[in-house]
């Protein structure tokens, strides 16, 4: 019978495809040592915008589905926004972005805090500018950028 230490030392695929004990199995949304949640850093914002542009550079069944998928992807770094009902075939919308649900409570000086979780680090906060259009094929194209 093997001991637990012997199982840990083994470096091969197990019976059910499990790899070495203690290895990571998920890919981080970060591609550097700068955390993607530090959205107030201009370098991070540039990288996140490249990701946002790549997600939007596809054709979707409708505009709302594209914006919902983008919302899900941005939630991996704590950014969220409300998805409005999109009725027109073409247009631009600006959505207020919050990070980690915003901040609510009291500051150390006793003043009230109720903000988006970004504006205290980045002047003016963050908005998602979404330009959308329905193509002649019936599919939709979405171009988005964090500003």
Ordered per-residue pLDDT tens for the chain, 147 residues: 788 877 777 655 555 555 555 555 555 555 555 677 788 888 888 888 888 887 766 778 888 888 888 899 889 888 999 988 888 889 999 999 999 888 899 988 888 998 898 888 888 889 999 998 888 888 888 888 999
pLDDT of residue 93: 92
pLDDT of residue 6: 77
pLDDT of residue 81: 93
6 found inside a domain: no
User: Considering its fold, how many domains does the chain have in total?
Assistant: 1
125 found inside a domain: yes
From the list 45, 49, 70, the residue with the least C-alpha distance to 142 is 70
pLDDT of residue 124: 87
CA distance 86 to 65: 10
81 found inside a domain: yes
117 found inside a domain: yes
99 found inside a domain: yes
Cβ atoms of residues 130 and 95 within 8 Å: yes
Cβ atoms of residues 116 and 40 within 8 Å: no
Structural domain boundaries, residue 54: 31-146
pLDDT of residue 128: 92
Taken as a whole, the chain contains a residue count of 147
22 found inside a domain: no
Residue linked to tokens 């990070």? 99
76 found inside a domain: yes
pTM: 0.68
44 found inside a domain: yes
């Amino acid at each position: 019978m093997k001991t637990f230490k012997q199982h840990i030392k083994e470096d091969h695929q197990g019976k059910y495809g499990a790899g070495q004990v203690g290895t990571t199995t998920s890919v981080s949304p970060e591609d550097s040592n700068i955390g993607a949640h530090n959205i107030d850093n201009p370098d991070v914002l540039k990288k996140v915008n490249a990701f946002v542009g790549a997600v939007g550079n596809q054709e979707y069944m409708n505009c709302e589905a594209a914006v919902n998928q983008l919302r899900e992807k941005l939630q991996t770094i704590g950014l969220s926004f409300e998805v409005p009902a999109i009725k027109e075939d073409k247009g631009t919308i600006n959505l207020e972005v919050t990070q980690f649900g915003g901040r609510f409570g009291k500051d150390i000086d006793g003043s009230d805090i109720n903000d988006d979780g970004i504006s205290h680090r980045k002047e003016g906060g963050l908005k998602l500018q979404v330009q959308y259009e329905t193509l002649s094929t019936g599919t939709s194209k979405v171009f988005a950028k964090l500003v």
